[in-house]
Amino acid sequence: MLTDQYRFRRNRTAPLPRRLRLDAAGHSATGTHHGRNQDRFLVDTQRGLFLVADGMNGMRGGERAAQMAVDLLPLHPTLLNCESLDNQSVRGQLSQAFLDVNQEIVLAAERDPTLYGMGTTAVLGLLANDCFHIASLGDSRAYLLRGGDLHQYTIDHNLAQTLVTMGAITRDEAGNHRWRHRLWKHLGASNLKDGPDVVAFRVEHGDRVVLVSDGVTEVLNSQALINVLDSHATPAAAAESLVRAAVASGTRDDATSVVVNVLDAPLGQ
């Protein structure tokens, strides 16, 4: 539940008309290394808001943290009516929302000792002003597929990626490194100060935006992602097939994907 400072009326102002419309779907499957799915996802095409969260640090705590992320981030007042803001302002709004929800997760863990250390990744996509704004903490990823090329718009916040950045190991080596699951930045961290990474890119008809947990990218490389997406035109089929491909490729972790198709809005909308 949101604390009082985050409550707001649900009859918010209607969003401004968009030049683009979105078709989207998500899918998730439980991994083999535990009995319950700790991933969560959100698809809200009306608001142009999409989210994948991958809970961690214990089954109960991981589920709770991921659920809090998908419950609280969309309700945060700063994420209402972002269509009226410039890109820099949207960046600030997203950062504030992540920082405030992080504090809510930290406080929940402090109130319940059984949730101590709970946390979650979060990758959020928001369409505003014909730009997709991506905010991320952890190692869940966001991609843009355009014209057969796949672009990754997130950086993994794990120690293996830190070694890649330092030049100590290669990107290929990071995929199997023992520290690839050691996150240094995520929701639920008591020392989180600088918020999420936030990037924005303009989207156009025919683009596909993809959000995935590491249960997918652990076993599917970029070409495998492209192959699956190219084989399925609808978001529902693509999202399900990405997860099924991850399971077939031997992922042990929960696997989740959200696929967003960007389309021109019909005339008059």
Three-state DSSP at 50 gives strand
Over 60: is that where the pLDDT of 163 sits? no
pLDDT above 90 covers what percent of the chain?
66
Mean predicted lDDT score pLDDT of the chain:
86
Q: Per-residue pLDDT tens for 26-49?
A: 999 999 877 789 999 999 999 999
**150 band by pLDDT with thresholds 50, 70 and 90:** very high
Residue 221 burial (CB count, 10 A) = 13
CATH number of the 29-206 domain: 3.60.40.10
pLDDT of 181 > 70? The answer is no
Contact 117, 61 (CB under 8 A): yes
Show me where the domains of the chain are located. Answer: 29-206
Can you tell me the distance from the alpha carbon of 220 to that of 194, in angstroms, rounded to the nearest whole number?
30
pLDDT for residue 158: 76
Distances (CA, A) of 103 to 2, 78, 179, 248: 11, 15, 26, 37
Q: Which of 61-65, 130-134, 182-186, 218-222 shows the lowest mean pLDDT across its residues?
A: 182-186
User: What confidence tens digit (pLDDT) does each residue in 83-125 have?
Assistant: 778 899 999 999 999 999 999 999 999 999 899 889 999 999 9
Q: CA-CA distance, 85 to 238, in Å (whole number)?
A: 32
pLDDT greater than 50 at residue 198: yes
